[in-house]
Structure 1
Amino acid sequence: MKIAVVGAGTIIFRDEGIGVYAQRYLAENYTFEGDVTLVDGGVLGFQLMTYYTDYDKVIILDTITMKEEAPGALYNIPGEELLGLGSYKQTAHEVEIVEMLEIAALNGNLSDVHIVGIVPEDILSVKVGLSETLQRAFPEFVSEAIAELERSGVAVLPKAEGMSLAEILDAYENPTAQRSVDPTQAD
């Protein structure tokens, strides 16, 4: 099975970037036994359509606006449940994910899509990073993405070394900063 994990969102609008951070966290901290492609879908827009049509399964990591739900609430929603709903969220995305799902469905070649979504606290502030609420919920968000991969038959194996969420957020907040390298650990 060919699987894509797409981290959707816009990192400059605080919690809106959680999908991008989660995709990076998975890439930095895990290996996958299976045909898994991790995609930073933050600004790809319609270029993401390829994944919705050419892969057997697509797992989208993103924020989701659900009325009456507290920030940090998690969802795992099959894509077909979102068809016909139009926009399922209020974000800065130029092209809404549901609209692309609907187009792929109309063409008759929509992959098995799951949205692993989390209710954001702040998607209006122009700030890179996550609210404290979503930082606390991040481990459970990543765990649900891993569980969805495992339900698809993918073995998810932790790497010996990786990056913490704090290091990933820092890498996006300070993109020109270099990670310190221990000279005794040369390749």
Structure 2
Amino acid sequence: MSALSESAGPQGTSGILLLGLGNLLLGDEGLGVHVLRRLVAGYHCEPPITLIDGGTAGLELLPLFRDHARILLIDALDSDRPPGTVSLIRDQDIRRALEVKLTLHHLGLAEVLALLALLDEMPAELVLIGVAPQRMALDLELSPAITAAIPVVIAAVQSVLAGWGVRLDPVAAPGQQVCRRANLTNPTNEDHSMNAIDNFSCLRRSPLSEGLTDDQLRALTGITCCRRLQDHEVLIEEGKIDNSLHVITEGALAVTRNLGKGDYTTIHVLRTGDMAGEMGFVTGRPHSATLRSLGCTQVCSFERAAFEDLVTDEPWMIYRVMQNIVQVGHGILRRMNAEYVELTKYITQSHGVY
């Protein structure tokens, strides 16, 4: 079971939710999340809608279903059709389609729909775009058949949203640097550019800003730099020290361990809202793993020395930020434990789940 994470900035005002589901560690099972990230990185919705990386969440989805009138789901879906086949399923037919469950999150999703039906709180419209998987194994990459199906999935998303009065159009690829450190102690006209404003808005959307006033967040913004990482770009290198805390404001990072001779293995995936490098930030010790970007990922970072310089002027801000670091770290640990349980069941094929 995965924590939910917002992947597209401010909540949409249209009452429409686009939810990508799946486990990135199980190959084609992560299809929904892969598609959602491609939409976030390269498309624009008008009017804005809410896009959520639901991961492997189950009953945690219930509040989201209650809060949105129209919901579009993207997920791998078992079928007797060839791998890569895209199916469009609506409303009550979705519950029947989930009778054959690929993974545990399908069990949780089926429970959510059954509970909503029992409470007579089903969304006005519910659509599932399902794709028949080719390979369900420990792998971060999609199979060729599923990769080839992604344009078809996106076209289906555009068609469904168009029926709901929403345009989904591609945008130009973002630049490498989206914002930079703002100099609030000696402001210039340049510091009030969109780049400096982006630092503030990026942090405000992250759990690091929980409980911070705007003034406190501006103080933190003054030592923060946000940037975009390209696919497979390394943020943190195993064995190196950088004394920085990194917050993922969009996208995902693979946590990898070196196997030698240029090979590595992925042990976890950090998602939007997660933090990276917190132990090195606190202790100053070398990092125990390498972090690589999965797709285009946006991170906001600040160094420990600059953070400590704020202790005298902003003690409460420092206290709240450290609280948030602990809470996010605890959430990551809980998610890793839940994913370990799911992977164990997948490998052993026990409990009648698979």
Same fold (TM over 0.5): yes
Alignment correspondent of 1:55: 68
Q: Which moved more, 1:171-180 or 1:146-155?
A: 171-180
| Higher relative contact order (Cα pairs below 8 Å, separated by 6+ residues) | 1
For 1:162 and 1:115, the matched residues in 2 are separated by 29
For 2:98 and 2:146, the matched residues in 1 are separated by 25
- Following superposition of structure 1 onto structure 2, how do residues 39-54 of structure 1 map, counting pairs within 5 Å? 39-54=52-67
Q: Deviations over 1:79-121 (max 9, x none)?
A: 3113356534322427432221111111111111100010001
Shift of 1:36: 0.7
Secondary structure at the aligned position of 2:292 is classed as coil
| 1:82 matches 2:94 | yes
* Aligned mate of 1:102, from 89, 110, 114: 114
For these two proteins, the number of residue pairs brought into alignment is 175
Q: Which moved more, 1:45-54 or 1:21-30?
A: 45-54
Q: Is the 8 A contact 1:88 1:98 kept in 2?
A: no
User: What are structure 2's unaligned runs of at least 5 residues?
Assistant: 1-13, 176-229, 234-251, 256-268, 270-290, 298-354
Alignment correspondent of 2:150: 138
Q: Is the 8 A contact 1:29 1:159 kept in 2?
A: yes
Q: Is the 8 A contact 1:32 1:155 kept in 2?
A: yes
* Aligned mate of 2:168, from 156, 166, 174: 156
For 1:76 and 1:173, the matched residues in 2 are separated by 31
For 2:231 and 2:150, the matched residues in 1 are separated by 12
Which of the pair is proportionally richer in strand?
2
Output the amino acid matched with 2:25.
I
Q: Is the 8 A contact 1:46 1:95 kept in 2?
A: no
Note the aligned Cα RMSD (angstroms).
Answer: 2.5
TM-score, normalised relative to structure 2: 0.45
Secondary structure at the aligned position of 1:96 is classed as helix
% identical equivalent positions: 25
Structure with max Cα Rg? 2
Alignment correspondent of 1:183: none
Shift of 1:70: 0.4
Q: Say if 1:84 and 1:134 are closer, same or farther in 2 by CA, change over 3 A.
A: closer
Q: Which moved more, 1:92-101 or 1:108-117?
A: 92-101
| 1:5 matches 2:18 | yes
Alignment correspondent of 1:185: none
Output the amino acid matched with 1:99.
E
Q: Is the 8 A contact 1:62 1:118 kept in 2?
A: yes
Alignment correspondent of 1:116: 129
Secondary structure at the aligned position of 2:51 is classed as strand
Output the amino acid matched with 2:141.
G
- Following superposition of structure 1 onto structure 2, how do residues 58-77 of structure 1 map, counting pairs within 5 Å? 58-67=71-80, 69-77=81-89
